[in-house]
Structure 1
Amino acid sequence: MTKQDVINQVSAKTGLDSLTSRSVIESFFEVVKEALIDGEPIYVRTFGSFILKQRASKIARNISQNTAVKIAAHTIPSFKPSREFTDQVRAQEIPFSTKKAKA
């Protein structure tokens, strides 16, 4: 599903025109990004949380040059679904697609 598909479904469910729906969805994404950039998590009851995770520094391998590369500690954005959301997804019989990416 693409962002445009989401916009179309929101428009259909709310009765708003697609431009208004696009504006609302884009604004939501901006609010989430700005809050996480400021270090503030977002908690949406019955849906999930947009949080920041800390990654420790580690040693990785550059296999093409056979050398060790140090990756510094860093912060990444993450989404943690709520228990209710997770239970709803688990209760469904969703066919899992195992399409392989084109090489």
Structure 2
Amino acid sequence: MNKTELVNSVREKANLSLKNFEEALKAVLSTITQTLAKGDKIQLLGFGAFETKERGARKGRNPQNGAEIKISAKRVVVFKPSNALKSRVK
């Protein structure tokens, strides 16, 4: 499902206009992005949690020629699904 399909599906279920829902979705995604950029965690009960974690520097290999490369440390976004979501997906 892409963003357009998601917008249309949720919009129909919530009985909202396309313009209103697109603005609301942009606001939600913007808030999530800003919160994660600050290093804070977002917890949605019954769904899961988004947070950032530090990934340390490590060595890797170039798959084309096998040469060793250095992969720098970075902060990554992780999602941990709730038990309720896990059980519904099973």
Normalised TM-score (structure 1):
0.80
Q: How many residues align?
A: 90
Q: How far apart are the structure 2 equivalents of 1:18 and 1:54?
A: 38
SS in 1 for 2:46: coil
SS in 2 for 1:22: helix
1:73 aligns with 2:73: yes
SS in 1 for 2:80: strand
Gaps in structure 2 of 5+ consecutive residues: none
Match of 1:9 in 2: 9
Identity of aligned residues (%): 27
Q: Shift of the alpha carbon at 1:65? A: 4.2
Q: Shift of the alpha carbon at 1:64? A: 3.1
SS in 2 for 1:84: helix
Give, as a single letter, the amino acid of the residue that structure 2 aligns with 1:47. Answer: F
1:50 aligns with 2:45: no
Give, as a single letter, the amino acid of the residue that structure 2 aligns with 1:31. Answer: T
Q: Shift of the alpha carbon at 1:63? A: 3.6
Q: Shift of the alpha carbon at 1:72? A: 1.6
Q: CA RMSD in A?
A: 1.2
